Amino acid sequence: MTPPAMCYYSKLQGSGGKCRTCLVEVSKGSEKDPRPMPKLVASCRTTVMDGMEVKNITSEKVVDARKGVVEFLLLNHPLDCPVCDQAGECDLQNLSYEHGTEGTRYEFKRRTFEKEDIGPYISLHMTRCIMCFRCVFTADQLTQKREHGILERGDHATISTMLNKSLENEFIGNVIDVCPVGALTDKTFRFKNRVWFTKPVDAHRDCPTCNGKVRLWMRGEEVFRVTARKDQWGEVEDWICNDCRFHKKETKDWVIEGPSLIRRSSVISQGHYAGNVGTAPTPILIDKVIGKKPKLTLDIHTVSDVNRPDVHLSEIEGPAHSDDFKKNK
């Protein structure tokens, strides 16, 4: 099981070391020097050594520290998931469910920012930003010149409005895909649909600017959104250009390859009952490590006898009904 990461992005040079969500305990430094590291360390910024032993969720200290990090990240983050376009694919939402606590001890007013118009395609909702720097690195490394960055410090830190200049770059749309929260969203998709109602499909086209391999988010025949494909770590596989992302919104623009593989645990896999959508690699079982099965993957038949164990939900076409579980079926 990999530690969660909110700022590290393997494809962006210099990323990592900002959010502290990836803290781990190094219980043995290396074969040469087996002393444990005195403090928890950010795994994205720690060099692996021969013989190093690292504790992730098996360490109480790590679990406790992560709760604190989530609480910090949520200090200023609005709880507007019901109206946020990122809901359902938000790293912070997932992190809070998996590692957070139910409440906060924060009593002050959350910081807020005035809305800024940064062009026709990308919406910046600074109030939701967690200052991970990913968008800054993306613009810096994918575009010809750096046009935006973080201004001010501490509570006043903000993504600069110069972003609207770099919007002219044909790869700038990728900042939407790297943003772990709903601070940068696609204006052409905004408020049009909830992501779990759409069906992700892999498709490609012959694009003169990028390699044209994308993911279409469809409902029926309609293409609601185009994004880059993401790998098992939730990172973009190949950067895509603005033309593919914002202007090719018809099925005739694309050669459809087939349904995208979506993690079983993701809310996006809900509603996909047949075919291979929703199948995902079995999570790496931690039962060998902690000696019991993780709660997240428990088999419903071991705790409930409501459904017949020989009826597999994944094989039922469409939503399940009581008829599907009748004895004589």
In angstroms, the CA 50 to CA 31 distance is 6
With contact defined as beta carbons under 8 Å apart, do 213 and 237 qualify? yes
Q: Does 163 bind ligand FES (CB under 6 A)?
A: no
Nearer to ligand SF4, 183 or 201 (CB): 183
Q: Looking at 12, 24, 44, 74, which residue binds ligand FES (CB under 6 A)?
A: 44
Q: What is the pattern of x (binds ligand SF4, CB under 6 A) and - over residues 173-212?
A: -----xxxx-xx----------------------------
- Tell me how many residues contact ligand FES (CB under 6 A): 13
Give dist(CA 11, CA 44) in Å, integer: 13
Instruction: Please identify, among the stretches 4-12, 54-62, 200-208, 283-291, the one whose residues bind ligand FES according to the rule CB under 6 A.
Output: 4-12
| Residue 37: Cβ-neighbour burial (10 angstroms; 0-12, 13-18, 19+) | middle
Q: What is the DSSP track for 61-113?
A: HHHHHHHHHHHHHTTS----GGG-TTTTS-HHHHHHHHH--S-----SPPP--
Minimal distance, residue 208 CB to ligand FES, in Å: 35
**How many alpha carbons lie under 13 Å from residue 204 in its C-beta half-sphere?**
10
Residue 73 interacts with which of ligand SF4, ligand FES, none, CB < 5 to 8 Å by class:
none
Q: Cβ closer to ligand FES: 17 or 294?
A: 17
Residue 214 binding ligand FES, by CB under 6 A: no
Query: Helices in the chain by DSSP H: which ranges?
Result: 60-73, 91-99, 134-142, 163-166, 174-178, 242, 287-290, 300-303
For residue 225, the partner it binds in ligand SF4, ligand FES, none, with Cβ less than 5 to 8 A by kind, is none
Q: Which does residue 18 touch among ligand SF4, ligand FES, none (CB within 5 to 8 A, set by kind)? A: ligand FES
For residue 148, give the nearest of 133, 127, 163 by alpha carbon.
163
Binds 131, which of ligand SF4, ligand FES, none (CB < 5 to 8 A, cut-off by type)? Answer: ligand SF4
Interaction of residue 73 with ligand SF4, rule CB under 6 A: no
CA 88 – CA 196 distance, rounded (Å) = 7
* 5 in contact with ligand FES (CB under 6 A): yes
7 makes contact with ligand FES (CB under 6 A):
yes
The site map against ligand FES for 18-37 (x = CB under 6 A) is xxxxx---------------
Task: Could you list the beta-strand ranges (E) of the chain.
Answer: 23-28, 41-42, 53-55, 122-124, 150-151, 158-159, 184-186, 199-204, 213-219, 222-228, 255-259
**What does 134 interact with, of ligand FES, ligand SF4, none (CB < 5 to 8 A by kind)?**
ligand SF4
Token pair, residue 227, equals 């994004």
Nearer to ligand SF4, 42 or 159 (CB): 159
Select the span of 12-20, 148-156, 176-184, 222-230 touching ligand FES (CB under 6 A).
12-20
Q: Which of 12, 42, 181, 216 binds ligand FES (CB under 6 A)?
A: 42
What interhelical angle do 91-99 and 60-73 show, nearest 10? Answer: 140
CB of 273 vs ligand SF4, minimal distance in Å: 33
Do the Cβ atoms of 56 and 62 come closer than 8 Å?
Answer: yes
Residues near ligand FES (CB under 6 A) are 5-8, 16-22, 42, 44
